[in-house]
A and B are shown apart, each in its own frame.
Chain A
Amino acid sequence: MNHSITGVGATTRAVDKIRIESLGVYLPEKILSMEALLASCRRRPRWDLERITGIHERRVAVGEYAADLGIKAARQALAMSRYRPADLDVIVCSSISKYNRKNEFHLEPATAVRIRAAIGAGNARVFDVVNACAGMMTGISVLQAMIRCGMARCGMVVSGELNMPLAETAAREMRHSFDGQLAALTLGDGGAALVLDPSPDGQSGFQHIDLVTGAKHDHYCYSRPSRRGPGGILVTKARGLQRKGNEHFPAYFKRAMDRSGWTLNDLQHIIPHQVSVRAIENGVRAVSRYLGSVLPDITRCSADHYGNTSTTSHFLAMHDAIVEGRIDSGHNIMLVSGASGIVIAHATYSFDDLPQRYRARFAGGR
């Protein structure tokens, strides 16, 4: 029976915290270097983009589309989860780039419907959430609200990002070195999925999630179909976006720490949105200035080898940090996101045994 039934009263247990029960990521095998991407530009920008951004390469999906990347990540997450697909009450898909066929951007049905069908989650209620690069964080916040008030017992937040069509348009259309599409050359492809459920011990899990939209600054970054030819474009006023973000986000960073009852001593890792290595360094400096003390070396960065994978970037960085043994059980992390809108998002999270389970599964072959 392939239908879902979800509503208020699915469970009545009061839930305080939710945790990441399982994590899955999918990285396409093909690697494209910054040099190769720049070489493909019709008019090569005169900047040394690799030096400026710190991005050396990214993964590129070949013959796969956004929903496929999400589906593969969802399967990875379910392979490590104690839940079966049929146990999922909700699936929230937060992809921005819904390129589910060549030159087709899909609006209906929701991409979450395709993912539900592919993984066999026949009891899940599904919808998409779109909030630029803060999409997965928004999806987590939505699912947290639904689990907390008893509308769902467990659910999945999943995203597959096929960003390279935007980079290809930029390579084709950029006219000069100050072109607004320059930032599209920092993008990469990837998928990530989380299974979320109530924290079993009431201690581990998300301590505080804070998302806020400063809509006055909605003009810094947008994506839409090209006016000059086929494909979509991403236009970014990168400096302005970073300057405005760095002006405001440190206050929210401190607020998230305060509301979690944490100090810098309690924090083992910061995982920012992986815009570029340089942008992350600038963000760290902005927080240091705000706090009046230099941040310890706890910022995790994967932008140098994955590029900016938009909504999925935090969880690809988390994957790397866990596999490399940097993140361990009991560690506290802060997820920081800045997205076009401008959306500023912070989440504080305390790990349970996920890192051990993840490493064991990863070492055992994916």
Chain B
Amino acid sequence: MRTCRIESLGVSLSHRHFGRWGSVRHAVEAGRQCLKASHHRKADIGLLINAGVHRDLHICEPAMAVFIQHRLGINIEFQNRGTLAFDLQNGGCGMLDAVQVTAAMLQNGEIEAGMVVASEANSDRQPDPRFAYPASGAALLLDLSPWNDRGFGSFAFHTRDEYADLYTSLVSLAGKHGKIVFQRQAELENKYLTMAGTVVEDVLNRDGLRREEIDFVVPAQLSAGFLTQLPAAIGFPGDKVINLSDRLPDTLSTSLFLALHLTMDSQRPAAGRKALLLAFGSGVTVAAATYRF
């Protein structure tokens, strides 16, 4: 079966912009960067999935992906070539979920190219101080790889629902306008670390890979402390695990692909190099995927 690859990657970081951008604007900016770097035309994109968690003005209908599709100008009118846009929500693992769904549709021949976007921003006037995610956006343009062995390999998602209450985010509607109420227990990162080893083992087994064959590991950048402990938890040497915590704070759903973007910028991985991608999210869910450049 042919594999799905990242044809282009775009990001939007909050420090670049003067003023306060919302989640749609960040997603659109990342999408524009992505389209600029891509060889595909907008009309080729048959699927647009938004995997961001927090939404402008807490709008729950229609899907945020619809606003992003509109502003990116991707098949916005009912015509011969159409695009399906929807939101997929699974916290910090949402983008990997959306990549796998897009890969399925590409492999089935249902679409020619698909875009996965995510963005985070808190639109509250007085935000919950526990909500520490800076606004950001990330976008991927995915298509079928022209090579047999390049692109995404296997995916693995492990969920431990008995820990579901360790991480909750909700919009309180008790007052006007709604307000995000955010709760993240201190032991959450320990749970991620205990689950990460099994997930990595699982995804490597699926691909028949040994740890030595992986050139680098790109995890979501949760915190400096977490990234220091991660290599031991997953059985990789510290120098193989990308740690950008000095440059990149945790940005929730976009974190993994912001880290991948910066890694690709600095390392420019050669063809054939293998990466392991790791995401962590509510549920509690740890997700992993292998990627060959």
On A, residues with C-beta under 8 Å from B are 2-9, 96-98, 100, 103-110, 112-114, 116-117, 122, 125-132, 135, 138, 141-142, 145-146, 148-151, 211-216, 218, 221-232, 234, 248, 251-252, 339-341, 343-344
Contact = CB atoms under 8 A, between A and B. Distances in A.
Contact of B155 (A7, A108, A221): A7
Contacts of B105: 145
A113 B283 contact: yes
Given A125-B159, A129-B87, A224-B58, 20 more contacts: A3-B159, A3-B195, A3-B198, A105-B58, A105-B173, A106-B168, A109-B285, A110-B283, A128-B88, A130-B87, A131-B85, A132-B62, A145-B104, A145-B110, A149-B107, A149-B108, A215-B76, A222-B59, A225-B58, A344-B78
18 contacts: A5-B156, A104-B170, A104-B171, A109-B282, A110-B91, A126-B90, A128-B90, A131-B63, A149-B1, A150-B1, A213-B84, A213-B85, A215-B66, A222-B59, A223-B60, A230-B173, A232-B60, A341-B85
Interface stretch (B33-41, B93-101, B227-235, B261-269): B93-101
Interface in B27-69: 48, 53-54, 57-63, 65-67, 69
Contacts of B164: 109, 113-114, 117
B158 interface: yes
A234 B60 CA distance: 10
A-B pairs, top 4 by smallest CB distance, nearest first, are A225-B178, A212-B82, A131-B86, A215-B70
A113 B159 CA distance: 8
A44 B74 CA distance: 42
Nearest to A10: B206
A227 B83 CA distance: 32
A9 B61 contact: no
Contacts of A251: 78
B260 to A, nearest CB: 19
A8 B281 CA distance: 20
A234 B59 CA distance: 10
B87 A107 contact: no
Nearest to A224: B59
A127 B99 CA distance: 13
A225 B282 contact: no
A219 B100 CA distance: 30
B163 to A, nearest CB: 9
Contacts of B74: 215
A227 B177 contact: yes
Interface string B133-163: 0000000000000000000011111111110
Contacts of B162: 2, 117
A126, A228, A252, most chain B CB atoms within 10 A = A126
Given A3-B158, A117-B164, A138-B86, A343 B173 contact: no
B66, B162, B178, most chain A CB atoms within 10 A = B66
Interface residues on B, range: 35 or more
Contacts of B1: 8, 149-150
Contacts of A132: 61-63
Contacts of A213: 48, 65-66, 69, 82-86
B169 interface: yes
Contacts, number: 244
Given A222-B62, A343-B62, A232 B84 contact: no
Contact of B62 (A108, A216, A218): A218
Nearest to A135: B86
Contact of A4 (B75, B89, B159, B170): B159
A344 B78 CA distance: 9
B103, B157, B159, most chain A CB atoms within 10 A = B159
Given A149-B1, A227-B176, A107 B170 contact: yes
B155 A109 contact: no
A240 B15 CA distance: 40
B156 A138 contact: no
A138 B84 contact: yes
A223 B61 contact: yes
B246 interface: no
Contacts of B104: 142, 145-146, 148-149, 151
A53 to B, nearest CB: 19
Given A149-B104, A225-B173, A218 B67 contact: yes
A113 B282 contact: yes
A340 B62 contact: yes
A213 to B, nearest CB: 4
Nearest to A125: B157
Contacts of A2: 160-162
Contacts of B97: 127
B225 to A, nearest CB: 22
Given A113-B282, A145-B105, A230-B175, A215 B86 contact: no
Nearest to A247: B78
A103 B175 CA distance: 9
A224 B88 contact: no
B156 A6 contact: yes
Given A2-B161, A7-B155, A215-B67, A105 B60 contact: yes
B101 A108 contact: no
B161 A117 contact: yes
B173 A231 contact: yes
Nearest to A112: B90
Nearest to B1: A149
Contacts of A142: 88, 101, 104
Nearest to B68: A215
Contacts of A341: 62-63, 66, 85
